[in-house]
Amino acid sequence: MSPELTQLMELQELDLEIQRISDRLARIPAERDQIENEFKQYAAEFLDLKSKHEQIIEDRKQLEAELATVQQNHEKYKQDLMRVRNQKEYETALREIDATKKHASALESEILKRMEELEKLDAELAARAPDAERKRAETDEILASLDNEQQQADGRLTELKEQRERLAERMPAHLMSAYDRMSRRGRGQALSEVNAFGVCTACRMKVRPKVFSDVRRGDQLITCEHCGRILYYRSEPSQSAETT
């Protein structure tokens, strides 16, 4: 095989790997978002329960503070009752005592109601917490794996681009120009392998016997009459994916 064709094959392998890694890196952010969103949807009900639990605790605190104020006022009115000077003040004090007593009783009922709600929510949260924690751990593990994959891919991409730059510097300008032109025409693939049956694996068209013979010799650059890509032949079967 000619040195020029060998260089072109090496260059294309680098470019295809660079493109593969770049495509993978481009998909990772969307995958992260999808995984996070799936967890949020899964945990939405659990998080709603936690939010409701926190709100009830806050409501109970406010009710207890209000109850303390009402009880203080109730005691004050009871003391005022002992210092009344006329019937009107006496009746007013009695009304205030009765009102604060009823108010305190209503607040106590509301507080008791909140405590019962909290007891039920505590039990439900305790039952669901292990599963939510397991799902969170699984999600974090997947996200960490994606982060690690991205870091390794970034490093590998930098390495491949440096290799490509060194290879391109060694190649003749006319060869690089031909490669770039074919790459643009071939949707990123400038070269195509001809298989043992004489078929261009890029366009899946059979080449003429004379062309196949010349390609197998590998001593010159020959393009496919159908797709325009530079053809090459491997004596060993290729494991590379065919491009349509």
The percentage of residues in the chain with a pLDDT greater than 70, rounded to a whole number, is: 96
CB atoms inside a 10 Å sphere around CB 192: 27
Calculate what percentage of the chain has a pLDDT beyond 90.
78
The answer to pTM > 0.85 is: no
Name the token pair of 57: 């605790």
Q: What is the C-alpha separation between 2 and 184, in angstroms, rounded? A: 23
- Rounded-to-integer distance, Cα 158 and Cα 164, Å: 10
d(CA 116, CA 85): 45
Q: What are the tens digits of pLDDT across the range 12-71? A: 999 999 999 999 999 999 999 999 999 988 888 888 999 999 999 999 999 999 999 999
- The pLDDT of residue 238 is above 80: no
Dihedral over alpha carbons 157, 158, 160, 162 (to 10 degrees): 160
State the chain's mean pLDDT as an integer: 91
Reading the block at residue 56, the tokens are: 């009830």
Question: Residue with structure tokens 């969307």?
Answer: 30
237 pLDDT above the threshold of 60 = no
Output b/e per residue, 72-103; b: 16+ Cβ within 10 A. Answer: ebbeebeeeeeeeeeeeeeeebeebbeebeeb
